[in-house]
Amino acid sequence: MTSISWRSPSLASHCQTHLSAALAEALLSHPSLVSSIKDASYVFLDAETANERGWTPYLDKLDQSVNTVNTEPGQKHETLAWSKGTFSSCYLTHSLNDDVIHFLREHLPLSKNQTLVLFDYRSSPSVRPISDDSLIVAGVSLSESAGTFRPGLDIAVPPPPLRELSHLFSPSCSAASLPLLATLDCVDTHAVRQRLASAALGEPDIHVSIKCREWYDGTPGNEAPPPGLCEHDIADVADDAGDKDDWMKRLSRSVFGYVPRGHGLFTYRLAEVMSAGAIPVVISDGWELPFSEIVDWKTISIQVGEEEVEGVVERLRGVGWEERCEMRRRGREFYDRYMRTPGGIVDGVVQILEEREAAVRCTDALACSDVHN
């Protein structure tokens, strides 16, 4: 079995990310790993993530060193594979499209029945609408309405937390242990965040602090907020490099954590909020939430439309403590299993692929129903 890395040795050091290395390690240690790409039904492609901007095009000569993963150990033809490529740049200069998919198939030892899988951690997906259904995009910022998510084919995966806050998590769920209703500390990267700050005014158990952008030009989505709604010097917001941890403590003592969109649809706050044990309040129209094929997000989160923010406080207060604690418990279980580690992310992707294959194989209604039970 050949040992491989996500990145090519020719890439500059600033293009090497902990995330890409961790996902590669998780895949290579997966219990379904097998050794031959020819037996693989899914080929995991190598790409580089330099802080969500560095997914490189597959346009240079490809190194065909591979490892493969078997979706069902012991069955040769239900497998996944990981392939390594060599690239001239660590930044994406071309969108992944039908032409590039065709190039890959010409240069990798693939059969027409094998499916490519690409992890895409860019806030703006590098993959544009393509007609080739032999590529599965496992991405953090996918949207069916934007044309970057194909239901039943692509897989939405969790964004990694910029800070993992599980050390602050407490299973206690009561008004005494969770005195804050909701919390948000962030930079003002979208107008929805300004509206959340406005909705929090006069609410003693809701904390919202937003740091002003460096500039506002008045264009739609870049309007300056009313005076006093954001601050120019906040040392403890989640986006700041300061060492204060007040925002972390607030989040761990909150029932809900706001997860508003920023420049892109996805936000790292989803993972941060859930790692602290808070119930995510997702405000990002069209964002395909992670692993929605294996979890009902209505049971572990509150989803609010971007134009419905003004009523968010009333909606949160309407959730009783019994429901809050159950949502919190379920959300924590989901986070620990599928979001907390790169291994959990890989497990989630493989589980979805397995369930899809099982659904195709089932021959009667009972067998089909068992797939989802």
Contact predicate 277/203, CB 8 Å = no
54 pLDDT more than 60: no
Domain of 229 in residue numbering reads as 166-334
68 in a structural domain? yes
Summarize pLDDT for 261-271 with one digit per residue, the tens.
Answer: 988 888 889 99
Q: Is 345 part of a structural domain of the chain?
A: no
The domain tally of the chain equals: 2
* Average pLDDT of the segment spanning 245-270: 90
Question: Are 276 and 257 a contacting pair, CB within 8 Å?
Answer: yes
Residue 194 lies in a domain: yes
- The CATH number linked to 242 is 3.40.50
Distance of CA 9 to CAs 28, 49, 68, 127, 167, Å? Answer: 18, 15, 21, 25, 35
Asked if residues 114 and 97 have their Cβ atoms less than 8 Å apart, the reply is no
User: Cα-flanking dihedrals φ and ψ of residue 371, to 5°?
Assistant: -60, -35
Say which range, 84-93, 195-204, 229-238, has the weakest mean pLDDT.
Answer: 84-93
Over residues 110-140, the pLDDT tens digits come to: 677 777 787 777 766 655 556 677 788 888 8
Among 129, 160, 191, where does a domain finish?
160
Q: Tell me whether residue 358 is in a domain.
A: no
Same domain, 194 and 324: yes
**Do both 70 and 31 map to the same domain?**
yes
Helix (H) or strand (E) holding 246: helix 246-252
Query: E strands, the chain, where?
Result: 33-34, 42-45, 66-70, 79-83, 115-120, 135-139, 155-156, 180-187, 206-211, 254-260, 279-283, 302-303
- Give the whole-angstrom CA distance, residue 120 versus residue 293: 18
One domain for residues 178 and 312: yes
